[in-house]
C-alpha cells in the first residue's frame, strides 16, 4: 500500500512540474510578440484573406508572379508574407466558403509560442458553420507570416454521420470480401469434376493414336516378313539354277550367302 501511495505521489509531482513549465512566465519581448501577432492576425490578416473568399477577388492576383504578390502584400498591406504563402492562404479561405458561408465575426483568439513559430488561432463565426482561422508567424524580429488557413469546424452531428459512414463502408468491404472468399471456396469443389471430365475427353484421342501406331508397326513387321520370304524364294531359285548348270541332281551342296543386284 505504501509503495502504491509513493508511486501516486511521484506521478503527481511529475505532472505538477510539467504544469509549472508550461505556465512559465514569458519575457516582456515574447509577450509583446504574442500581442502583436494576435492584433495583426485579427485586425489585418484574417479580414484581408476573408475578402478573398469572393470569387472575383480570389482570382485577382492570378495575373501576378509570386515575387510581385510578395511586393504587393508588403507595399499595400504592410505585412511580411511571400507570394507562395499568399496564394495558399487565398485558396484555403476560398475553398472553405462553401462550408462556412460568409464570415460574420471573430469570436475568440488565442496565441502561443511554439519554438521558432508563433501560432494564432481565431474562432470565426460563419453563416453556415464556425471555423478556425490559423495564422503562423516566425518567432523573430521580422514576424514573417509562414502560413494562413481557414479550417471549418465540424459539429457533433456531422462527426457522427462521418463516423457512421466510415463504419458502414468498412463493414461493407469486409462482407464483400467474405462473400468473394466463400464463392472461391465453393468453386474449388468443382475442380476435381472438371479434371475428370477433361481426362475422359482426352482418353479416346490417346486410344486412337495408340491404335494407329500399332497398325503402322504391324504393317512394317508384315512387310519385313514378306521381304525375307521373297529373298528365300529367290535364293532357292538361284541355287536350283546353279545346280542345273553344274549337272547336280540337288541343291544340297550349294549355299547362297548373298544376293547382289547388278545394274
For the ranges 4-8, 29-33, 182-186, the maximum mean pLDDT occurs at 29-33
pLDDT digit string (tens) for 212-231? 666 667 666 665 666 556 66
Q: How confident is the model at residue 6 (pLDDT cuts 50, 70, 90)?
A: low
Q: Which is higher by pLDDT, 87 or 4?
A: 87
Closest CA to 125 of 50, 35, 56: 50
* Phi, psi (rounded to 5 degrees) for 28: -60, -40
- pLDDT(35) > 80: yes
CA distance 240 to 244: 6
pLDDT digit string (tens) for 78-93? 999 999 999 999 999 9
- pLDDT(211) > 90: no
Q: Which residues contact 91 (CB under 8 A, 6 or more apart)?
A: 58
Closest CA to 152 of 84, 94, 85: 94
- Do the Cβ atoms of 79 and 73 come closer than 8 Å? yes
The pLDDT, as a whole number, for residue 21 is: 47
For the ranges 105-119, 184-198, 214-228, 233-247, the maximum mean pLDDT occurs at 105-119
Q: How confident is the model at residue 19 (pLDDT cuts 50, 70, 90)?
A: very low
The pTM score is: 0.55
Amino acid at each position: 500500500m505504501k509503495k502504491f501511495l509513493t508511486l501516486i505521489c511521484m506521478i503527481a509531482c511529475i505532472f505538477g512540474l510539467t504544469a509549472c513549465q508550461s505556465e512559465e512566465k514569458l519575457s516582456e519581448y515574447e509577450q509583446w510578440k504574442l500581442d502583436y501577432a494576435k492584433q495583426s492576425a485579427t485586425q489585418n490578416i484574417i479580414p484581408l484573406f476573408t475578402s478573398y473568399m469572393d470569387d472575383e477577388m480570389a482570382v485577382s492576383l492570378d495575373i501576378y508572379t509570386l515575387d510581385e504578390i510578395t511586393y504587393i502584400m508588403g507595399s499595400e498591406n504592410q505585412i511580411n508574407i511571400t507570394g507562395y504563402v499568399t496564394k495558399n492562404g487565398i485558396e484555403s479561405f476560398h475553398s472553405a466558403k462553401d462550408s462556412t458561408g460568409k464570415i460574420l465575426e471573430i469570436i475568440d483568439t488565442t496565441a502561443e509560442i511554439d519554438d521558432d513559430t508563433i501560432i494564432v488561432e481565431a474562432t470565426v463565426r460563419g453563416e453556415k458553420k464556425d471555423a478556425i482561422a490559423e495564422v503562423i508567424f516566425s518567432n523573430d524580429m521580422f514576424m514573417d507570416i509562414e502560413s494562413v488557413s481557414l479550417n471549418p469546424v465540424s459539429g457533433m452531428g456531422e462527426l457522427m454521420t462521418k463516423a457512421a459512414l466510415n463504419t458502414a463502408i468498412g463493414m461493407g468491404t469486409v462482407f464483400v470480401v467474405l462473400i468473394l472468399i466463400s464463392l472461391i471456396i465453393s468453386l474449388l469443389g468443382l475442380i476435381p469434376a472438371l479434371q475428370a471430365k477433361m481426362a475422359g475427353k482426352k482418353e479416346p484421342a490417346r486410344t486412337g493414336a495408340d491404335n494407329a501406331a500399332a497398325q503402322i508397326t504391324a504393317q512394317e513387321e508384315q512387310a519385313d516378313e514378306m521381304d525375307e520370304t521373297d529373298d528365300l524364294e529367290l535364293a532357292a531359285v538361284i541355287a536350283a539354277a546353279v545346280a542345273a548348270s553344274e549337272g547336280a541332281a540337288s541343291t544340297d551342296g550349294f549355299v547362297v550367302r548373298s544376293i547382289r543386284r547388278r545394274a
